[in-house]
Amino acid sequence: MTDNDFLADRFEAYRGHLRAVAYRMLGSAAEAEDAVQEAWFRLSRSDAREVENLGGWLTTVVGRVCLDMLRSRRSRGEESLDSWQPAPSAEPDPAQSALLADSVGLALLVVLDTLSPAERLAFVLHDLFGVPFEEVGGILGRNPAAARQLASRARRRVRGVEAPEADLARQREVVDAFLAAARDGDFDGLLAVLDPDVVARSEGGVNSGAQRVAAGATSFAHLARVARPVLVDGATGLAVFADGRPERVLAFTFVAHRISVIDIVSDPSRLADLTVEEV
């Protein structure tokens, strides 16, 4: 076995852990895989013999890679299309993606998306994976006390999040209000039902923030006029039908009686993965 093969075997022993860290940081299995792969590239270019704690070293590297990705995402005000696919089967590793999603929970991922990159890293690394604040602070370029404060602030927000709204009647009220506002071009009406940090994801890209999402929704009034309320995988959503089949679907995630995520699906292969029922 060559030195490179030995190093690869050691890396593989940590891959699952690194993927879990990256997924909680980024909320995307595809981006998590990219971050883990970047960690391998950096390891292969380093002198691993000088690394005493390989697991800790790799966790730190993945944390820094994810932090850079989150900061880049925030600076653009949107995410790359490749960072999201609406169905687990569209991710690189369907079984692993499903396990990751189940272990994290949608409500947690939604609230993590509202944190700043520094808050998210401090919370994920310390609270979820037990990384000491000294190391967290080193990644952030801050002292341990500042890292502790970031994690504490994030913790308060996470503990305060409500579970995704399960009341179909309440969901329907919110969706009806969203649909009416979109049809009328009512910007303020849209803001009233959108979470301030709402994320809208489609095959064309991703927008975040209520102002951006509301502006986008008002420009599609012609589609809103023909959209109908439906159940999308058991939750209230909207669909535009053509020849009796859904041509475009809006799947919503609800938190605190507002819309926090809008998944806009029009690709036929992705539509086929959804269960859409007329109501």
The pLDDT value recorded for residue 241 is: 94
What phi, psi does 229 have (nearest 5°)? -65, 140
SS3 call for 218? helix
The pLDDT value recorded for residue 265 is: 87
CA distance 136 to 122: 6
Longest dimension (CA), the chain: 68
Residues 6+ apart with CB under 8 A from 240: 223, 226, 227, 228, 246, 247, 248, 249
The pLDDT value recorded for residue 82 is: 38
Q: In the chain, which stretches have pLDDT less than 70?
A: 1-3, 74-108, 110, 159-166
The pLDDT value recorded for residue 161 is: 55
Of 209, 221, 133, 224, the residue nearest 185 (C-alpha): 221
The residue count of the chain comes to 279
pLDDT tens-digit map of 189-220: 999 999 887 878 777 777 778 898 999 888 77
CA distance 164 to 183: 26
The pLDDT value recorded for residue 135 is: 93
The helix (H) or strand (E) run that includes residue 124 is none
Q: Please, which residues bridge with residue 228 across strands?
A: 239
